[in-house]
């Protein structure tokens, strides 16, 4: 990686992190921190990050996302949950990178749709089993109603928000990639 490509990576990653933080702040404030809106946007940004700027940029955005969410007051109330979210985000990004760049069919959209579904499913499974079956019983001392509320948040809604974000990415990525390739001319 030469100096200009390093600078481009740093710039793109910084812009994507800034976009992520702005989305978390604005969408959280405007929707009362609605998981469906905030989470779908975060997953969209993760998919766009990895598919337009590469695995390291996407991974960086994936890892800092829950930390910023926590600092902004829209993330989980317990720090012990953050590493599980990081792993879920990282799986989402890695699967998007591997499957979204695969040659499936004659158009990239086929790979994007498969990547969106598989990444959403993987993220959901990691968060559900990691948080509901590991973090809550082993690391959190919370009352059963609070444990149930946390379990609900990290259940099926995680699949739904990841699928929505991935689905929107399927539509946006061809347009973004076309625009980015024209910028290189």
* Angle, helix 82-100 to helix 108-127, in steps of 10 degrees: 160
Cα distances from 132 to residues 41, 47, 78, 102, 172, in angstroms, run 23, 25, 13, 32, 33
Instruction: Give the model's confidence band at 31: pLDDT under 50 very low, under 70 low, under 90 confident, else very high.
Output: confident
CB 48 within 8 A of CB 16: yes
Model confidence pLDDT, tens digit, residues 75-123:
888 999 999 999 999 999 999 999 999 988 778 899 999 999 999 999 9
Residue 183 has pLDDT above 70, yes or no: no
Per-residue model confidence (pLDDT) at position 138: 95
Instruction: Give the model's confidence band at 28: pLDDT under 50 very low, under 70 low, under 90 confident, else very high.
Output: confident
CA distance 85 to 64: 10
Given the candidates 2.40.180.10, 1.10.1760.20, 3.10.20.880, 3.30.360.10, the CATH classification of the domain at 3-183 is 1.10.1760.20
Selected residue with higher pLDDT from 184 and 43: 43
Per-residue model confidence (pLDDT) at position 33: 67
Domain ranges for the chain: 3-183
CA distance 126 to 122: 6
Model confidence pLDDT, tens digit, residues 17-27:
999 999 999 98
């Amino acid at each position: 990686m030469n100096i200009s490509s390093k600078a481009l990576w740093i710039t793109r990653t910084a812009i994507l992190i800034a976009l992520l933080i702005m989305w978390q702040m604005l969408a959280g404030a405007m929707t009362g921190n609605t998981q469906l809106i905030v989470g779908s946007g975060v997953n969209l940004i993760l998919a766009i990050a990895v598919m337009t700027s590469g695995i390291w940029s996407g991974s960086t955005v994936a890892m800092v996302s829950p930390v910023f969410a926590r600092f902004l007051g829209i993330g989980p109330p317990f720090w012990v949950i953050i590493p599980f979210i990081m792993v879920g985000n990282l799986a989402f990004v890695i699967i998007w990178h591997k499957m979204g760049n695969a040659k499936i069919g004659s158009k990239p959209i086929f790979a994007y749709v498969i990547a969106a579904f598989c990444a959403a499913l993987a993220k959901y499974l990691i968060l559900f089993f990691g948080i509901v079956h590991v973090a809550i019983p082993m690391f959190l001392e919370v009352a059963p109603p609070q444990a149930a509320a946390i379990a609900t948040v990290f259940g099926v809604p995680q699949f739904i928000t990841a699928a929505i974000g991935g689905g929107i990415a399927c539509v946006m990525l061809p347009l973004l990639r076309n625009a980015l390739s024209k910028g290189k001319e």
